[in-house]
Amino acid sequence: MTKCNIYDKSLRFSRATYGMLALIAFLIQSPLLVLFTSFIMLFGSFSVKLNIPYNFHALIFKKKSKVLKKEMGELNFACGMGGSVLLLSFLLFYFEKFVNLGWGLVLIMSLLMFLASFAGVCVGSLVYVGFKKVFRR
């Protein structure tokens, strides 16, 4: 897989931003904010150049952040998986089926995004590594 240079603090900032948006959506019970968050996460899953919070932070604090080598597939998968779960939550709200499950998913995703931001443990990246090991066999 292709590796790219990623600013560590900018990546953590983008994950914290997504987590904050999801938490605010949960607290004010706003399905449209869930939809907005899922769309910006899904845009960011196509390329790091489309990741709005990452690019905003990198533009301002580029010189103060440590550069890491990460696989593009890992970053894209993690962001896409989070955005897909939030989009699924919005669809549960829209069709008024299992609304409580949808809000539970939003809360879990916000907590997982905060875990990835503050502790550096991204569950999406761990799932990607697991899939990669399984499908290599």
Note the pLDDT tens digit of each residue in 11-69: 999 999 999 999 999 999 999 999 999 999 999 999 888 899 999 998 888 777 788 88
| Residues 88 and 105: beta-carbon distance below 8 Å | yes
By residue range, what is the domain housing residue 37? 3-136
pTM to 2 decimal places: 0.90
Tens digit of each residue's pLDDT (9 = 90 or more) over 98-109: 999 999 999 999
49 contacts: CB under 8 Å, gap ≥ 6: 55
pLDDT in tens, 107-135: 999 999 999 999 988 899 899 989 989 98
Q: How many CA atoms lie within 13 A of 120 on its CB side?
A: 3
CA-to-CA distance for 124 and 131, rounded, in angstroms? 11
Residue 106 C-alpha from the chain's centroid: 12
* Total domain count, the chain: 1
